[in-house]
């Protein structure tokens, strides 16, 4: 494999010295770029874009041509696993994901297959292999999956939800059924992420998008323990170097210490968390990723730079910080705003790393 030219993202995740704070953006390959819209139109629809390795590679690389990002992230969707389980995923025009079939009973769970990463999900592995080759060692490639709890919400609700009433009904009335589903999903995610690592992903991330909707006492049982199980089962070294693992629970500030105790390398933070407080709580154990409000990218340049400066100051000196947004970039931000954001991070962060590199 090609030697990495820029590995500061991987080094920061492992809290090793870096020359400046690395940055990438959640959803950096996506609808805010006109070239993405053109490629998606070429593909015909979203899932066709995901299933075409060359086009998935193209949209993965598009933001790297515009901005000085320190990592690429696989272009795919968190719902590939439930789709491969046969639930009939579709995306309507202007709508969120929908499943033709939902999970309601123990029999539904028992009948779910565990997808073969090089079978039903081979298109994802082909995309990983293609992207890794075309990156030519410029920056590392991040692989990812949805968390078991987050995947289960879509599988039980049948799509996006505001109140999560169906899955919470299952949680409180039939917890054994839900736990069986989450266990099967944890096994599937472990296989899926390990296959991504074997195909060339150099770091992996678990997106627990809906963990924050759980009651404080339910999160450890119904979300965190399954992510912990995945972390325990992941390949942690490949191609002669460590493969860092990041866990991100949106709305997870309450449980930072518990997330850090899973053995992951980094914890993602949304914008509701003060990064100085987070570092004081868990920074000795894990790296931190985050955490600017994506809506700041609507602001003038000086306001974006001020927010970047404040977050860098909040984290303080030393490595262990990967700068990111607190969630995905919005589709209507000005095209020049991410450049202002990325360049400000690199410029303003250098003095926080000087003592580490003496």
Indicate if 281 belongs to the active site. Answer: no
Calpha distance 57→53 (Å, rounded): 6
User: What confidence tens digit (pLDDT) does each residue in 100-151 have?
Assistant: 999 999 999 999 999 999 999 999 999 999 999 999 999 999 999 999 999 9
CB-facing half-sphere around the CA of 83: CA atoms within 13 A:
23
Per-residue pLDDT, 91: 86
Nearest in space to 292 (alpha carbons), one of 336, 337, 259, 261 = 337
Please check whether residue 143 is in contact with residue 128, taking contact to mean a CB–CB distance below 8 angstroms.
yes
Catalytic choice (19, 40, 274, 281): 40
User: What confidence tens digit (pLDDT) does each residue in 276-334 have?
Assistant: 999 999 978 999 999 999 999 999 999 999 999 999 999 999 999 999 999 999 999 99
Residue 209 labelled as part of a binding site: yes
Per-residue pLDDT, 35: 97
pLDDT band at 344 (very low <50, low <70, confident <90, very high): very high
Indicate if 40 belongs to the active site. Answer: yes
Catalytic choice (19, 45, 77, 343): 77
Q: Which helix (H) or strand (E) holds 150?
A: helix 148-157
Please check whether residue 102 is in contact with residue 155, taking contact to mean a CB–CB distance below 8 angstroms.
yes
Residue 11 labelled as part of a binding site: no
pLDDT band at 95 (very low <50, low <70, confident <90, very high): confident
Catalytic choice (36, 154, 192, 219): 154
Per-residue pLDDT, 93: 67
pLDDT band at 92 (very low <50, low <70, confident <90, very high): confident
Nearest in space to 228 (alpha carbons), one of 172, 190, 273, 176 = 190
Residue 15 labelled as part of a binding site: no
Calpha distance 317→309 (Å, rounded): 13
Per-residue pLDDT, 204: 98
The answer, yes or no, to whether residue 5 has pLDDT greater than 80, is: yes
User: What confidence tens digit (pLDDT) does each residue in 35-55 have?
Assistant: 999 999 999 989 999 999 999
User: What confidence tens digit (pLDDT) does each residue in 190-241 have?
Assistant: 999 999 999 999 999 999 999 999 999 999 999 999 999 999 999 999 999 9
Residue 172 labelled as part of a binding site: no
Per-residue pLDDT, 357: 57
Residue 133 labelled as part of a binding site: no
The answer, yes or no, to whether residue 162 has pLDDT greater than 80, is: yes
The answer, yes or no, to whether residue 84 has pLDDT greater than 70, is: yes
pLDDT band at 356 (very low <50, low <70, confident <90, very high): low
Please check whether residue 326 is in contact with residue 22, taking contact to mean a CB–CB distance below 8 angstroms.
no
Does 2.70.150.10 match the CATH number of domain 8-357? no
Indicate if 77 belongs to the active site. Answer: yes
User: What confidence tens digit (pLDDT) does each residue in 164-194 have?
Assistant: 999 999 999 999 999 999 999 999 999 999 9
Catalytic choice (19, 31, 45, 187): 31
Please say whether the dihedral angle defined by the alpha carbons of residues 47, 51, 55 and 58, taken in this order, is positive or negative.
positive
Nearest in space to 197 (alpha carbons), one of 160, 229, 245 = 245
Indicate if 154 belongs to the active site. Answer: yes
Per-residue pLDDT, 220: 98
Residue 30 labelled as part of a binding site: yes
State the residue for tokens 């879509």: 154
Indicate if 31 belongs to the active site. Answer: yes
pTM of the complete model beyond 0.85: yes
């Amino acid at each position: 494999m090609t030697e990495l030219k820029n590995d500061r993202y991987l080094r920061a995740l492992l809290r090793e010295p870096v020359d400046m704070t690395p940055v990438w953006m959640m959803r950096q390959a996506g609808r805010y770029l006109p070239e993405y819209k053109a490629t998606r139109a070429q593909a015909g629809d979203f899932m066709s874009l995901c299933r075409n390795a060359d086009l998935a590679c193209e949209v993965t690389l598009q933001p790297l041509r515009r901005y000085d990002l320190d990592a690429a992230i696989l272009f795919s969707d968190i719902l590939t696993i439930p789709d491969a389980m046969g639930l009939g995923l579709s995306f309507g025009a202007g709508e969120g994901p929908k499943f033709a079939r939902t999970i309601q009973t123990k029999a539904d769970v028992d009948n779910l297959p565990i997808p073969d990463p090089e079978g039903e999900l081979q298109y994802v592995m082909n995309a990983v292999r293609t992207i890794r080759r075309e990156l030519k060692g410029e920056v590392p490639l991040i692989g990812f999956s949805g968390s078991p709890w987050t995947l289960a919400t879509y599988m039980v609700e049948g799509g996006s939800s505001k109140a999560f009433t169906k899955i919470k009904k299952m949680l409180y009335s039939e917890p054994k059924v839900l736990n069986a589903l989450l266990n099967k999903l944890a096994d599937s995610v472990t296989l899926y992420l390990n296959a991504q690592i074997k195909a060339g992903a150099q770091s992996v991330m678990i997106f627990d998008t809906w963990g924050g909707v759980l009651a404080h006492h339910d999160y450890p049982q119904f979300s965190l323990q399954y992510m912990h199980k995945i972390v325990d089962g992941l390949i942690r070294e490949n191609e002669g170097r460590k493969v860092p693992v990041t866990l991100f629970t949106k709305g997870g500030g309450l449980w930072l210490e518990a997330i850090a105790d899973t053995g992951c390398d980094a914890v993602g933070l949304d914008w509701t968390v003060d990064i100085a407080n987070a570092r004081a709580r868990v920074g000795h154990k894990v790296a931190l990723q985050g955490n600017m409000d994506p809506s700041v990218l609507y602001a003038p340049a000086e306001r974006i730079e001020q927010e970047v400066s404040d977050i860098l100051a909040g984290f303080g000196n030393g490595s262990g910080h990967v700068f990111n947004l607190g969630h995905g970039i919005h589709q209507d931000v000005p095209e020049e705003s991410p450049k202002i954001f990325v360049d400000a991070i690199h410029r303003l962060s250098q003095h926080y790393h000087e003592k580490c590199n003496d």
